[in-house]
Amino acid sequence: MGGGSGGGGSSTVARFEPPDYAAQSWADYVNNMRAITQQPFQQYEGMTIAPINDAQAGGMQYMMNIAGNDSPDMAAAKAMNQITASGGYENPYATIQTENAYNPWQLAEAAPQIQTNTYRDQYNPYGGFSPEYQQFKQNSLNDTVGAYQRGTAAQTDSAYNRAGAFHGGAHDAQIASNEDALARNLARQGSEMDFGQWDRSSGLYNTDTARNAGLEQQAIGMVNDTRQADYARNSGIAENALNRGMQSQTNDLNRATSAWDAERQRQMGAYQNALQGHQSDLSDAQHIIGVGDAQRQYQQDMLNQQLNSYNQWQQYPYQQADIFGNALSRASGNYGQNTQIGQTNYQASPYGPLIGGGLLAASMFG
C-alpha cells in the first residue's frame, strides 16, 4: 500500500511482489475469485416457512367456534345472568301477605244477656185489698152466713114456730139480735182473716217466692256463667285456629321463599360451572393449537436446516477460496517490497488512500 508524505521529500510506493513460487497461485486465485463473483444469484427454491398444519387449523377453528358460538349451557347461563342483572327474577313470594281471617266470636256478645227473674217483682195476690183477697174473704163470710142460716136462724125459726109466735114481735127481736151477733161475728171473722190467715198465706207465699227467686237467680247465674264460658272458650278456640292458620301460611311462604332462593343460588352457581366449562373448552383449543405449534416448529426446524445446508453449499466456494487466500498470503510472507518510483510533490487529497489502494489492486492483478 502507498500513502503520501508531506514536505516535498521523496515518495515511496509499497508494491506487492509475491515470491516466484507463489506468483502463479496468486493469478489462479484472482481468476477463481473472478469466476465465483460473476456467477448469477441462485434463488433457493425450497420451502422456508412451515405452513399451518391440521392440528393448528383444527384448534383455531375450534377456538373460533367457541368464541363465536356459545355452548347451550353457556348461552342459557348468559341469558339467566342478563335477566338477573336487569332485575327480572323478582321473588314472587316477597309481596304475598298472610291473610288475617275473621274471628266470628270476636264481636259476639262478650257478656251474657240479662235475664229477668220472674220472682223478683212478682205481684203478691195476697197483699192489700186485692180482688183475690176480696174473693177469699167473701167466700169465708158466705160460709159463715150459710152456717148462721143453717144453724142459729133455723133454730130460732123452729123454736118460735113451735111456740106459735112465728113472725111475732119477740121473734123479730130475736132475729135482729141474732143478725147483730152474726154481723159482729162476720166483722171479727173478717178482721181475723185479714190479719191472721192473710199474714200466714202471705208469709208462705213470700217464702216460696223468695226461695223460687233465689233458685231462679242461681239458675240464671249458672246459665250466664256457662254461656260466658262458652263464648270465651269458642273465641279462644277460634283465635287459636286463626293463629295456627296464619303461622301455617307464614311457614309456607318462608319455605317457598327459601326454596326459591335456593334455586336461584343453584342457577347462579350453574353460571360459574358453565363459565368454567367454557374456559375448559378454550383451554382444550389452546392445547390443540399448542400441539400443532410443536409439530410446526419441528417442520420449521427441518426447513431451516435445509435452508442452512443450501446456504452453506452456496458459501462453500467462497469459504474455500478464503481459506486458500489466507494460506497463499501466509506462504507469500504477508508483505510486499518497497520500491522507489520517483519524486512527487506534497498533495493533500482525500482520495490518496483510495489511489494507493487502486495501485495495490493493480499490482495484485498484474
pLDDT at 107: 59
pLDDT at 149: 66
Count CA within 13 A, CB hemisphere, residue 245: 13
Residue predicted with more confidence, 19 or 162: 19
Q: Is residue 26 part of a domain?
A: no
What pTM, to 2 d.p., does this model score? 0.42
pLDDT at 358: 37
- Is the pLDDT at 2 greater than 70? The verdict is no
Average pLDDT for the chain: 74
Beta-ladder partners of 338:
14
Q: What angle do CA 62, 67, 73 make, to 5 degrees?
A: 95
Q: Is residue 35 part of a domain?
A: no
* Pair 3, 356: CB distance under 8 Å: yes
Count CA within 13 A, CB hemisphere, residue 7: 3
Highest mean pLDDT, choosing among 164-178, 201-215, 234-248: 234-248
Q: Is residue 11 within a helix (H) or strand (E), and if so which, with residue range? A: strand 10-15
Beta-ladder partners of 14:
338
Count CA within 13 A, CB hemisphere, residue 133: 19
Confidence bin at 152 (pLDDT 50/70/90): low
Mean pLDDT of 329-347: 53
Mean pLDDT of 295-305: 93
- Is the pLDDT at 39 greater than 50? The verdict is yes
- Is the pLDDT at 230 greater than 80? The verdict is no
pLDDT at 304: 93
Residues 6+ apart with CB under 8 A from 112: 223, 224, 225, 227, 228, 231
Q: Is residue 231 part of a domain?
A: yes
| C-alpha cell of residue 199 | 199474714
Residue predicted with more confidence, 3 or 187: 187
Q: What is the DSSP letter of 365?
A: T
pLDDT at 326: 92
* Span 243-268, pLDDT tens digits: 888 888 888 888 888 888 888 888 77
Report the distance separating Cα 228 and Cα 186, nearest Å.
Answer: 58
> Per the structure, how many domains does the chain have?
1
pLDDT at 365: 36
Q: Is residue 255 part of a domain?
A: yes
Q: Is residue 338 part of a domain?
A: no
- Is the pLDDT at 34 greater than 80? The verdict is yes
Q: Is residue 61 part of a domain?
A: yes
Instruction: Find the domain containing 128 and state its range.
Output: 52-315
Q: Is residue 366 part of a domain?
A: no
- In this structure, which amino acid lies at residue 300? Q
- In this structure, which amino acid lies at residue 167? H
Residue predicted with more confidence, 34 or 335: 34
